[in-house]
Amino acid sequence: MRITRLLPVFALVCFVSDAVSAPQLRPVLITIDDLPIASGSLHSEQVDRERITTGLLAALRKHGIEAVGLVTWEKVAQDSDFRLLEKWLSDGHELGNHSYAHPDYAKTAQEPYIADLEKAWAGLMAFLEPRGRSLRFFRFPFLCEGETEAKLTAMREYLARTGQRSLPVTIDNQDWSFEEPWVTAVRAGDRKALDEIRDDYLAALRLAFRHHEERGDDLFGRQLPQILLLHSNEVGASLWDDLFTSLEQTGHRFATADEVLADPAFSEKCEFVAPFGCGLWDRIRQAHKEDQAKADVAALLKAQAEAWSAGDLAKFCEVYADDAVFVSPSGVTRGRQEVLDRYRRRYPDARAMGKLRLDIIEMRPAWGIEVTPLLDAVPSRIHALSVVARWTLSYPDKDPATGLTLLVLQRPAGTWKIVQDASM
Q: Which residues bind Zn ion (CB under 5 A)?
A: 33-34, 141
CA dihedral for 218, 222, 227, 229, sign (positive or negative): positive
Question: How far is the first Cα of the chain from the last one, in angstroms, to the nearest whole number?
Answer: 86
- Measured from the CB atom, the residue of 71 and 317 that comes closer to Zn ion is 71
Question: Is the CB of residue 237 less than 8 Å from the CB of residue 56?
Answer: yes
Query: Three-class SS of residue 371?
Result: strand
Q: In the complex, what is the shortest distance from the CB of residue 44 to Zn ion, in angstroms, rounded to a whole number?
A: 18
The span from the CA of 245 to the CA of 235, in Å, is 16
Q: In the complex, what is the shortest distance from the CB of residue 376 to Zn ion, in angstroms, rounded to a whole number?
A: 15
- Measured from the CB atom, the residue of 116 and 290 that comes closer to Zn ion is 116
The span from the CA of 211 to the CA of 268, in Å, is 20
Q: In the complex, what is the shortest distance from the CB of residue 212 to Zn ion, in angstroms, rounded to a whole number?
A: 18
- Measured from the CB atom, the residue of 27 and 141 that comes closer to Zn ion is 141
Q: In the complex, what is the shortest distance from the CB of residue 142 to Zn ion, in angstroms, rounded to a whole number?
A: 7
- Measured from the CB atom, the residue of 237 and 408 that comes closer to Zn ion is 237
- Measured from the CB atom, the residue of 95 and 389 that comes closer to Zn ion is 95
- Measured from the CB atom, the residue of 49 and 198 that comes closer to Zn ion is 49
The span from the CA of 18 to the CA of 1, in Å, is 27
384-394 and 401-410 strand pairing: antiparallel
Q: In the complex, what is the shortest distance from the CB of residue 330 to Zn ion, in angstroms, rounded to a whole number?
A: 56
Closest-approach residue to Zn ion (CB) = 33
Which ranges in 21-128 belong to alpha helices (H)?
Answer: 46-62, 79-90, 110-128
- Measured from the CB atom, the residue of 135 and 321 that comes closer to Zn ion is 135
Q: In the complex, what is the shortest distance from the CB of residue 85 to Zn ion, in angstroms, rounded to a whole number?
A: 16
Q: In the complex, what is the shortest distance from the CB of residue 36 to Zn ion, in angstroms, rounded to a whole number?
A: 12
The angle at the Cα of 372, spanning 369 to 377, to the nearest 5 degrees, equals: 40
Query: Exposed, middle or buried by CB within 10 Å (0-12, 13-18, 19+), for 291?
Result: exposed
Q: In the complex, what is the shortest distance from the CB of residue 205 to Zn ion, in angstroms, rounded to a whole number?
A: 17
Q: In the complex, what is the shortest distance from the CB of residue 34 to Zn ion, in angstroms, rounded to a whole number?
A: 5
Neighbours of 107 (CB within 10 A): 11
- Measured from the CB atom, the residue of 229 and 297 that comes closer to Zn ion is 229
Question: Is the CB of residue 285 less than 8 Å from the CB of residue 219?
Answer: yes
The span from the CA of 301 to the CA of 292, in Å, is 14
Question: Is the CB of residue 216 less than 8 Å from the CB of residue 17?
Answer: no
User: In the chain, helix, strand, coil percent, each to 5?
Assistant: 50, 20, 30
- Measured from the CB atom, the residue of 34 and 94 that comes closer to Zn ion is 34
Peptide bond before residue 36 is cis, with ω within 30 degrees of 0: yes
Q: Which residues pair with 229 in a beta bridge?
A: 31
